[in-house]
């Protein structure tokens, strides 16, 4: 990913966290336990409050909508569930903190540098389609063929053959992002926000790799927790 408001130029969702991990919540419904009512937590005021901080000329202004997010969330009933209502709110805050950072408050749909191909030719299970590029797209900037493939299979769309679908269809875009989230960060939420940063961006952000990114993510997370009326918890950094 490369966005004007982000210090990072590209987002690479690693095979260790996404491409090679087969988790129950990514493969199918995984609710269990209580949690938060996603439509009640992600109100129009909350969602539009994030978008309002993007510039008026942003490509994402007419693309990312609360309705598209809620439609996608219906396909992942485990999101914001599995713990208490407070746990669910913290997960919502965490997801939107990462999405805010990745897209510049929902300004960007795709990477600025779209010359990146992000094709791992060694992936036999998820071979790259001729002429297609798997650069970052969507709220969590889905990248690499070995992520587009299983994401598409989970949501019933051929994303290997048509990766641009993530940048054309808002519901598909959010579904792909939630697939990424449920495949890695969802299981990390109980360990604190810092664990979600490590799950998604560990090799790039944690361990002193990009402290500015971590600080920005934590700032968004704390802001959203405050808006949702929930304590952010401990272990906020990685």
- Residue 102 known to be catalytic: yes
Measure CA of the first residue to CA of the last residue in the chain; give whole Å.
Answer: 21
Q: Select which of 44, 91, 102, 111 is catalytic.
A: 102
Cα 70 to Cα 89: distance, rounded to the nearest angstrom: 15
189 neighbors 91 (Cβ within 8 angstroms) = yes
- For residue 225 the two structure tokens come to 């927790």
Instruction: Write the DSSP symbol of residue 18.
Output: I
- Spell out the residues 6+ positions from residue 194 whose beta carbon is closer than 8 angstroms to its own: 206, 214, 218, 235, 236, 237, 238
- CA 107 vs CA 7, 54, 60, 189, 211: distances in Å: 15, 5, 5, 26, 23
- For residue 135 the two structure tokens come to 């650069």
103 neighbors 5 (Cβ within 8 angstroms) = no
Q: Which of 26, 28, 34 is nearest to 81 (CA)?
A: 34
Catalytic (active-site) positions:
102
């Amino acid at each position: 990913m490369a966005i004007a408001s982000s210090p990072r130029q590209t987002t690479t969702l690693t095979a260790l966290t996404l491409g090679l991990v087969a988790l129950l919540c990514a493969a199918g419904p995984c609710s269990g336990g209580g949690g938060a009512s996603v439509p009640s937590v992600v109100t129009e005021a909350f969602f539009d409050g994030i978008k309002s901080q993007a510039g008026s000329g942003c490509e994402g202004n007419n693309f990312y909508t609360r309705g598209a997010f809620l439609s996608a969330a219906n396909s992942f009933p485990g999101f914001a569930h599995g713990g208490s209502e407070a746990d669910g709110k913290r997960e919502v805050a965490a997801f939107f903190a990462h999405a805010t950072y990745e897209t510049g408050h929902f300004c960007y749909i795709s990477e600025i540098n779209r010359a990146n191909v992000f094709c791992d030719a060694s992936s036999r299970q998820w071979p790259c389609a001729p002429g297609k590029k798997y650069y970052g797209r969507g709220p969590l900037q889905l990248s690499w063929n070995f992520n587009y493939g299983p994401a598409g299979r989970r949501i019933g769309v051929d994303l290997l053959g048509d990766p641009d679908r993530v940048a054309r269809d808002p519901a598909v875009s959010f579904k792909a992002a939630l697939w990424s989230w449920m495949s890695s960060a969802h299981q990390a939420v109980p360990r604190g926000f810092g664990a979600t940063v490590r799950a998604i961006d560990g090799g790039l952000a944690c361990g002193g790799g990009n402290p500015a990114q971590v600080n920005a993510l934590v700032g968004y997370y704390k802001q959203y927790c405050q808006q949702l009326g929930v304590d952010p918890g401990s272990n906020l950094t990685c």
